[in-house]
Structure 1
Amino acid sequence: MNLLPSGTCFYLSVVICWLTSRVDGSLWYMGTLGSQVMCDNIPGLVNKQRQLCRQHPNIMQAIGAGIKDWIGECQHQFQNHRWNCNTIERDHNVFGRLLLRSSREAAFVYAISSAGVVHTLTRACSQGELQSCSCDPTKKGSSRDAKGAFDWGGCSDHVEHAMRFSQAFVDAKERKERDARALMNLHNNRAGRKAVKRLMSLECKCHGVSGSCSVRTCWLALADFRRTGDHLRRRYNGAVQVVMNQYGTGFTTAQRHLKRPSKNDLVYFEDSPDYCIRDQESGSVGTGGRVCNRTSRGMDSCEVMCCGRGYDTSHISRNTKCECKFHWCCAVHCRDCKLDVDVHTCKAQT
């Protein structure tokens, strides 16, 4: 087994570290015997995390399988920005040195990863993939909403169970450290968890004569993770820069005229780099070689993306479907056409 060097989990969500502890691109086998060996050999875990890891190998496996989803969501949210939630191959962690800086990007990564753990475990519970949980057992009997009375039925997603495990496991290291950065991580972890719960919705099925809704059966359902990503992206845009209070127990805003951050806000300490050039110290990989939009005025424009360095244009041919026609019944036939397009990429730093 190729293990990470000792200490590489420092200031990292253990979930991220666990992803980088894979062998040959696949998850370690997490059988009853193998789980203790694996959990004992992941560097950076505190005792509480090792204990939970050994006790719940199937939960750890579910988390590992879901990590690609929240990394993909992070990359979707920032695909047109200088920082695009890029991952780094063959580094000690998938985000390089980015997470060593207490920036708003680090705040987003912690929030989306914490949310991803909750979402993944909640879904696994409802789908019967875990022995320790299933549907929410508290959603039974009758209740009311703005539309009137309804009966609980179906399978309500058991988000509370997932939130409890996520808090116990992901937060354990930060709770042991209790320094300024640990408090920041704890705050953003919680904001991510709360986002998943906040976006749950009541779904109902109507029963009654001629499809009337005289009787409703309802259940609580998770929102698609894209909505969580959109929500946390808005929180990223409005993230609050903070400093520690005089007692070292919490935050106050860096700019006194701004309101204190709520539990739903993302918080950060340090200004972000501009991500224009490669800088190993800050974790920036630069924008050299990134595709930009010459006609845009937004963040994906060549002027903004390339940081004024200019861009190169290449002419390429792409295969595309064209002249599509509908044939009764029921098929669509298209021709394969070649489309010549210009692709603009940012010049590298000189």
Structure 2
Amino acid sequence: MASRTVFRFLILLTALVWIVTADNKKRREPWTNGSWFNIARLELEKLSNRTDLFSDTSRLCARIHGLTSGQRRVCKRHKDHMPAVSGGVKKGIEECQYQFRGRRWNCTVSGDETVFGPLTLIASRETAFTHAITSASVSLSVSRACRDGRLSSCGCSRARRPRNLHEEWVWGGCGDNLEYGYKFTEGFVDIRERERKVKRGSREQGRQLMNRHNNEAGRRAVIKKSRVNCKCHGVSGSCSLITCWQQLATLREIGDYLRDKYDGATEVKVSRRGKLRLSDPHYSLPTAQDLVYLEDSPNYCVRNDSLGSLGTSGRECNRTSAGIDGCSLLCCGRGYNTKRIVIKERCGCKFHWCCRVECNTCVKTLEMHTCK
């Protein structure tokens, strides 16, 4: 009798372990199998002159780990777009690291195919920013690739003439193809969120809706910061002819804009009907240009590999700053260490005819502060 009871207990325990494991696998599946951000690691821009690689779309698209089946189909149809996509993601990650260089989370990348490591599992405002900035950067990169004639399916912008443009000015210079860049990026990036069927109102659906919203916010940022650029033509600067065209902003301008959106990101939750709703009714409704997130950020003050937090110990801080890069906030109240560095460099150089340069040696002492 006792052995039968033990046997039943073992069966129930095994079933419970299987259910928990399957549930955790299900929760992790969309993001731990790699990320499309991984395309930045392949340096496709440098490989684009290899005709043997780019003539075989199956080889090219198979090398990009992290793509879903839908993204692989797009890759095979538009193989010449992939170097622009790869370069766009890479520049987006670099811009992320620039924007957060003085913050507790500094957009650290990992060595695996998820690119951002365990952070991709957390539906935080940091994840929201990574989706927005990469989507924006890819849209920017593809739009300019069209303008430069590097893609077979698009060319210069065919945007309509702005209504408020001076009637004597000529519209039709070779502008950045914002429309094509937007549509291609929407199809390539968002397809991974649309093709996987999930339960309505589930956490997985909430994550899909969050990703799509932030991807769109990144593309909207490119549109919002675009402008009309004009140039004079004529003899001796007479400006007898003025030509205007559509021009996109720099990624730095877009990054500054999205960082402000990150600071004002809105916490949301998914309803039973499968819609994103405000977590706090006192907040204002987010627009399509705003960033949204589902979960609180982890504690970036201390190292926690399972959460993707490297901590701030050893990070350089600004002793005189009262901002987030200051030693008080960046070091999370732990204090900081000060190290004096002596630098010798050439200075006061003078050129003597002919032909030598004589310089003095200047000695500077710098202080470097790092978090404890």
TM-score by length of 1: 0.85
Which letter maps to 1:303?
S
Q: CA deviation at 1:13?
A: 8.6
Deviations 1:99-127, CA, capped at 9 Å, x for gaps: 21000000000000000100111111111
| Structure with greater Cα Rg | 2
Q: CA deviation at 1:289?
A: 0.9
Q: 1:41 to 1:70 in 2, by over 3 A?
A: closer
Residue 218 of structure 1: SS of its match in structure 2?
A: strand
Partners of 1:341 and 1:19 lie apart in 2 by 36
Which letter maps to 2:79?
P
TM-score by length of 2: 0.80
Partners of 2:193 and 2:184 lie apart in 1 by 15
Kept in 1, the 8 Å contact 2:34–2:66? The answer is no
Partners of 1:214 and 1:24 lie apart in 2 by 43
Q: How many residues align?
A: 332
Match of 1:4 in 2: none
Which letter maps to 2:91?
D
Q: CA deviation at 1:63?
A: 1.6
Partners of 2:163 and 2:346 lie apart in 1 by 51
- Name which of 321, 328, 332 aligns with 1:296: 321
Partners of 2:173 and 2:358 lie apart in 1 by 42
Match of 1:64 in 2: 86
Residue 102 of structure 1: SS of its match in structure 2?
A: coil
Partners of 1:239 and 1:101 lie apart in 2 by 15
Partners of 1:196 and 1:338 lie apart in 2 by 46
Partners of 2:102 and 2:122 lie apart in 1 by 22
Q: CA deviation at 1:41?
A: 5.2
Residue 154 of structure 2: SS of its match in structure 1?
A: coil
Q: 1:312 to 1:27 in 2, by over 3 A?
A: farther
Q: CA deviation at 1:212?
A: 6.6
Q: 1:252 to 1:31 in 2, by over 3 A?
A: same
Greater per-residue helix proportion: 2
- Name which of 125, 131, 142 aligns with 1:110: 131
Match of 2:186 in 1: 167
Q: 1:287 to 1:315 in 2, by over 3 A?
A: same
- Name which of 121, 130, 136 aligns with 1:100: 121
Q: CA deviation at 1:334?
A: 7.2
Residue 10 of structure 1: SS of its match in structure 2?
A: helix
Q: CA deviation at 1:68?
A: 2.5
- Name which of 70, 75, 89 aligns with 1:53: 75
Deviations 1:66-106, CA, capped at 9 Å, x for gaps: 33311111111111111111112x32322111121000000
Partners of 1:326 and 1:48 lie apart in 2 by 64
Percent identical: 44
Which letter maps to 1:288?
S
Answering whether residue 252 of structure 2 is matched by residue 233 of structure 1, we say no
Kept in 1, the 8 Å contact 2:36–2:66? The answer is no
Kept in 2, the 8 Å contact 1:103–1:270? The answer is yes
- Name which of 165, 172, 185 aligns with 2:211: 185
Q: 1:333 to 1:119 in 2, by over 3 A?
A: farther
Partners of 2:156 and 2:62 lie apart in 1 by 31
Kept in 2, the 8 Å contact 1:27–1:64? The answer is no
Residue 56 of structure 2: SS of its match in structure 1?
A: helix
User: 1:322-341 counterparts in 2 under 5 A?
Assistant: 322-323=347-348, 337-341=362-366
Kept in 1, the 8 Å contact 2:35–2:65? The answer is no
Q: 1:27 to 1:38 in 2, by over 3 A?
A: same
Partners of 2:231 and 2:34 lie apart in 1 by 40
Residue 273 of structure 2: SS of its match in structure 1?
A: coil
Q: 1:151 to 1:23 in 2, by over 3 A?
A: closer
Q: Structure 1: state its 5+ residue gaps.
A: 1-6
Which letter maps to 1:277?
V
Q: 1:346 to 1:272 in 2, by over 3 A?
A: same
User: 1:312-323 counterparts in 2 under 5 A?
Assistant: 312-320=337-345, 322-323=347-348
When structure 1 is superposed on structure 2, of 122-131 and 11-20 the one drifting more is 11-20
